[in-house]
């Protein structure tokens, strides 16, 4: 055998070995890729479709006690759904649509099996007399939260003066009055009355306030704050440029 022939055979052998190594490396790479895909698919199925991480309980926080059970019933419709597949935004919107007392709702997952529902409840600002001795509770935005048999403590009642009926405009005027009040005065407001012309009067501490219509609420509040220092029995700010006090 010639020297050239041996060298050629050795070169071909080395090429064959390298080709085999490349093929083996390619096979290993494909095998690892397929294994990774299989693992990811398995994890996706476990998380998104199996019962391993499904919703088994609902935890509601922040809801008014009067609304809590209704919120829970709505959220419990997701029991059995894998947590990752619960549409939190849609559930939040549904709760706010069906529970007037819920001002804001957020939903998140409490792994492995809990759906956390956090509610920001509306705060009653007015209790408007309704038929049968009941009261409609409204917040400062005018949303009717619920109807109750008695006004909660600390929530001023709005009632008709004489034989009048409290109109929607009268209720909105009362809301505007309360919204214009600073917090230290608002919590002292009781016994709001609305007459047939939607004129408002109420008690502020021990002083009777004749508020009048819904016009110029900020000016009226400033005048009331000044005149309260004299501790009168009555303050009439229905015409805030020419207020009147009695007693």
Mean pLDDT of 44-60: 69
Whether the predicted model's global pTM rises above the 0.75 cut: no
User: 217, 200 in Cβ contact below 8 A?
Assistant: no
Sequence ranges of the domains in the chain = 1-50, 57-121, 126-246
- 147 has pLDDT over 70: yes
Instruction: Quote helix, strand, coil % in the chain, to nearest 5.
Output: 45, 25, 30
Main-chain dihedrals φ then ψ at residue 191, nearest 5 degrees: 50, 55
Report the CATH architecture of 126-246: 3-Layer(aba) Sandwich (3.40)
* Span 159-190, pLDDT tens digits: 887 655 677 888 888 989 999 999 999 999 99
Q: Are 68 and 117 in contact (CB under 8 A)?
A: no
- Look up the CATH superfamily of 57-121: membrane protein fhac (3.10.20.310)
Helix (H) or strand (E) holding 104: strand 102-110
Position 127 confidence tier, pLDDT thresholds 50, 70, 90: very high
Helix axes 88-98, 65-75, angle to 10 degrees: 140
CA 149, CA 165: separation in Å to the nearest integer?
19
Cα 201 from Cα 24, distance rounded (Å) = 92
């Amino acid at each position: 055998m010639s020297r050239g022939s041996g060298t050629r055979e050795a070169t071909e052998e080395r090429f064959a070995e390298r080709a085999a190594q490349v093929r083996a490396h390619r096979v290993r790479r494909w095998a690892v890729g397929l294994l990774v895909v299989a693992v990811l698919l398995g994890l996706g199925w476990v998380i998104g479709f199996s019962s391993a991480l499904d919703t088994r309980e609902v935890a509601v926080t922040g809801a008014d006690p009067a609304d809590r059970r209704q919120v829970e019933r709505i959220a419990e419709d997701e029991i059995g759904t894998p947590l990752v597949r619960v549409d939190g935004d849609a559930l939040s919107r549904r709760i706010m649509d069906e529970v007037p007392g819920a001002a804001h709702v957020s939903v998140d997952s409490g792994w492995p099996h809990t759906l956390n529902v956090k509610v920001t409840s509306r705060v009653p600002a007015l209790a408007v007399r309704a038929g049968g001795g009941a009261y409609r509770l409204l917040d400062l935005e005018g949303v009717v939260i619920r109807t109750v048999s008695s006004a909660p403590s600390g929530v001023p009642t709005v009632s008709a003066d004489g034989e009048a009926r409290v109109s929607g405009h009268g209720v909105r005027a009362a809301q505007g009055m309360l919204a214009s009040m600073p917090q230290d005065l608002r919590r002292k407001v009781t016994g709001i009355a609305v007459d047939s012309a939607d004129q408002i009067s109420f008690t502020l501490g021990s002083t009777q306030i004749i508020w009048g219509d819904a016009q110029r609420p900020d000016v009226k509040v400033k005048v009331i704050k000044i005149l309260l220092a004299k501790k009168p029995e009555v303050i009439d700010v229905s015409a805030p440029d020419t207020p009147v006090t009695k007693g």
